[in-house]
Structure 1
Amino acid sequence: MADNLIGEHESSIVDSAKEKITESFQEDDSSSSDSDSKPIPKKTFPPPPKRNTAHSASWKDKPVHDLLGGGKAADIFLWRNKKKSASVLLFSTIVWALFEMIEYHLLSLICHILILVLGIHFLWSNTLNLFYRCPQFPQVALEEDTVLQIATVVRIEINNAMEDLREIASGKDLKKFLTVIAFLWIVSIAGSCCNLLTLIYICFVLLHTVPVLYEQHKEKADVLLEKGEAELKKQFEVFHEKVLSKVPSRQFSKKIA
């Protein structure tokens, strides 16, 4: 009887183990079938940024301060601070008068400035301190971050200018190409009449006067500018009909080739 009980107990243990194994296999099969039946989710990538196809606002709708860059330079050109604007204009006038009217040379100016600075430093350090308790002469040094920022800004501006010139020279916008050529031709004529320093000074004076006058008389100036723009468009259309339309296009040249 004992042997029979032991045998039945062992057979029940074996049967329960078989049932657990079969149940685990069935669960694995069901999970695998569920995973097979469910579609594998595809990787979704963010859509590319849409280009702004809307036309930018006309420069006539923008304030003059924004057209000039909107920084401290715009404040100076628009005389927001009259003392700073007057001092900058006076300094540029003095520099132009020294080099053009008095015929001062740049090397002589640098040497005379250094002589003046060294003389003041010598008197400050050796003479004045004997009679008065003067503070130390201020030290002047360029910070590395400032120099790097200036170099970065100059590099970015040069790269943007080179990119703009490349786009203009590619011939995609014929009107812009002809406008730049006409502007450079006018600048070359002005450069033959006066030297570079005088031309820079004239442009500097115009920047101190024209934006202010335009801001004060914006409505009347916009009317005149619209008339001038319409006249230029007419002249360009006449030039396009008489000259540019007679130039063979690229497709025609390809057919000939």
Structure 2
Amino acid sequence: MAEPTEKTPTAPPPADGVSEAAAASPPVATSRGFRFLGEDKSVHKALGGGKTADVLLWKDKKMSAAVIGGATVIWVLFEVVEYNFMPLVSHFLIGALAVVFLWSKATIFIKKSSPDIPEVQISEELAANIVKVLRTDINQALRLLREIAMGHDLMKFIGLIIALWILSEIGSLCDFLTLIYAAALMLHTVPILYHKYHDKVDHFAGKAHVELRKQYQVLDTKVLSKIPRGPVRAEKQE
């Protein structure tokens, strides 16, 4: 008696309107179009990564709340209460030193150990890292200003002029401390909002980018291309 042969399962037929080759081929990744931060750059990476990005994106909620709370207290003290900087620092040090001094004297009468006040010092490594970071940022800013001043990139020049003009208008409406406080609030709100709604923001930013490029092409055709320029010197052959 012959053994029954096993039936191999057959694949389901492709859907109507789809060929077998198309059904067997893997899906092709499509581009997401214009992205404000680049195709493969996340918000966390754009903010430099590390602890700072975690604070700005509210991944460390306690630290983020502490930063916003501290900035709010400072702004209220100096802008609402109109406290001056030197009296505030002096009064704070007077209160802190008085409390610690009385606490240290009280431990003698109650026969308890005196408070252990840690010795705070700025290490040489920390100071060197801070100077290194500041040096890198300042050099990048100076390099960008030199490139713009030499006329290598007209779009950067126009963008910088517009940004400085907007900054001057904002500065005329509020003082420096309020501007810093507003910048701190924006740094703790704009990145997290973009992280949540980046698809919609990139969509509208893409439309704005296309429109700006069209306007720039019109400006270049009608005005910039007609500006006379000096002869370009040929580079010396080695």
Question: Where in structure 2 are the equivalents of 1:25-104 lying within 5 Å?
Answer: 59-61=37-39, 62-104=41-83
Alignment of 1:234 with 2:177, yes or no, is: no
In structure 2, relative to structure 1, the CA distance for the partners of 1:234 and 1:173 (3 Å cut) is same
Structure 1 CA distance for aligned equivalents of residues 43 and 175 of structure 2: 30
1:218 is matched with 198
Of the three residues 224, 227, 236, the one matched with 1:244 is 224
SS at match of 1:127: helix
Q: Moved runs in structure 1, 4+ residues, more than 3 A?
A: none
Structure showing greater relative contact order (alpha-carbon pairs closer than 8 Å, 6 or more residues apart): 2
Tell me, what secondary structure is at the counterpart of 1:158?
helix
C-alpha distance in 1 between matches for 2:82 and 2:36: 44
Give the length in aligned residue pairs: 196
**Structure 1 unaligned residues grouped into runs of 5+:** 1-56, 253-257
TM-score when scaled to structure 1? 0.71
Shift of 1:58: 7.2
The aligned counterpart of 1:141 is: 121
Query: Which structure shows the higher helix fraction?
Result: 1
1:175-197 Cα distance to aligned partner (Å, 9 max, x none): 11111111111111111111111
Deviations along 1:77-108, whole A, 9 cap, x unmatched?
A: 11102121111111111111111111111111
- Write the distance in 1 (CA, Å) between the matches of 2:105 and 2:119: 16
Normalised TM-score (structure 2) = 0.76
Is 1:208 equivalent to 2:188 in the alignment? Answer: yes
Provide the alpha-carbon RMSD of the alignment: 1.9
Contact 1:125–1:137, Cα closer than 8 Å, also in 2:
no
Structure 2 contact 104–115 (Cα < 8 Å) conserved: no
Computing the radius of gyration from Cα coordinates, the structure with the larger value is 1
User: Partners of 2:194 and 2:36 in 1: how far apart?
Assistant: 16
Residue 168 (structure 1) aligned with residue 148 (structure 2): yes
1:179 matches 2:159: yes
Supply the distance in 2 between the matched residues of 1:245 and 1:215 (Cα, whole angstroms). Answer: 40
Structure 2: gaps of 5 or more residues: 1-34, 233-238
